[in-house]
Amino acid sequence: MDIGAYIVVLVMSYFLGSVPSGFLAGKARGIDVRTLGSGNIGATNAFRVLGKTAGTVVLLADALKGFVAARWIPLLAVCFFPDARAEREGLELAAGIGAILGHNFTCWLKFKGGKGIATSAGVVMAWAPFACMTALALWGIVFVMTKFVSVASIAAALILPVAVWYFSNGSLPMTAVMTALSVLAIYKHKGNIQRLIQGTEPRAGANKK
């Protein structure tokens, strides 16, 4: 194992993932998204606070961080560490972990970031595209049925490990990492889960007082 390659991949992916897209989009309009809506810097709150256009930009930016990290940073690393070419899957896993941790715990905002759903989708799109499409399809179905973004996101997080296992031909390392990341994503939704239980979680498009 080329430790140097893994360290480079993790560090580069973390800093790419740590770019706080939602926060920057809000600041461009003179708004701190952390003080409005749910207070989260992710795409869902960006849609709620900044509108559809800005929310879409944040969503795509967050997903792109994960995709670029998992797809391209390992390729860049092996240019400097040729002996690590045989460890491509391991480097891709490290890159995905780094990007999602960077998004969820960004060093630029005192390690308080988003929930990692869009960035995870980008990572999985690089790892196993059909697994990502399966999760996105389930997200869409659950969202249409419930109008809760949080419920749809939790459902997608639950199906991701199974979809990754299936479409990666039973890769145990990839499935294990995706399971851990899904657990983290669901944990980051603990506030939403509490509001769902209390009946105070807002539905998409609901009028707010």
Interacting residues of 78 by C-beta distance below 8 A, sequence separation 6+: 5, 84, 85, 88, 91
pLDDT of residue 69: 98
The answer to whether residue 88 is domain-embedded is yes
Separation between Cα atoms, residue 103 and residue 159, nearest integer Å: 21
Radius of gyration of the chain from Cα atoms? 17
Question: Dihedral (C-alpha) 4, 117, 115, 66: value to the nearest 10 degrees?
Answer: 30
pLDDT of residue 206: 62
pLDDT in tens, the chain (209 residues): 789 999 999 999 999 999 999 999 999 999 999 999 889 999 999 998 999 999 999 999 999 999 999 999 999 999 999 988 889 899 999 999 999 999 999 999 999 999 999 999 999 999 999 999 999 999 999 999 999 999 999 999 999 999 999 999 889 999 999 999 999 999 999 999 999 999 999 888 764 44
Instruction: Output the six-digit token pair for 185.
Output: 């994503």
The answer to whether residue 191 is domain-embedded is yes
pLDDT of residue 2: 85
Contact 69, 75 (CB under 8 A): no
The answer to whether residue 207 is domain-embedded is no
Tell me how many degrees the CA angle 166-169-173 measures, rounded to the nearest 5. 90
The answer to whether residue 208 is domain-embedded is no
pLDDT of residue 106: 97
* Ramachandran class of 42: left when φ > 0, alpha when ψ lies in -120 to 50, beta otherwise: beta
Separation between Cα atoms, residue 26 and residue 147, nearest integer Å: 24
- Predicted TM-score (pTM) above 0.85: yes
The answer to whether residue 127 is domain-embedded is yes
Domain that holds residue 66: 3-198
CA neighbor of 167 nearest in space, from 188, 195, 137:
137
Report the Cα 168 to chain-centroid distance in Å. Answer: 19
- Residue 31: CB atoms within 10 A of its CB come to 16
pLDDT of residue 209: 43
Instruction: Output the six-digit token pair for 202.
Output: 């807002």
The answer to whether residue 17 is domain-embedded is yes
The answer to whether residue 26 is domain-embedded is yes
Separation between Cα atoms, residue 5 and residue 76, nearest integer Å: 10
Contact 43, 51 (CB under 8 A): no
The answer to whether residue 205 is domain-embedded is no
Separation between Cα atoms, residue 29 and residue 201, nearest integer Å: 26
**Count of domains forming the chain:** 1
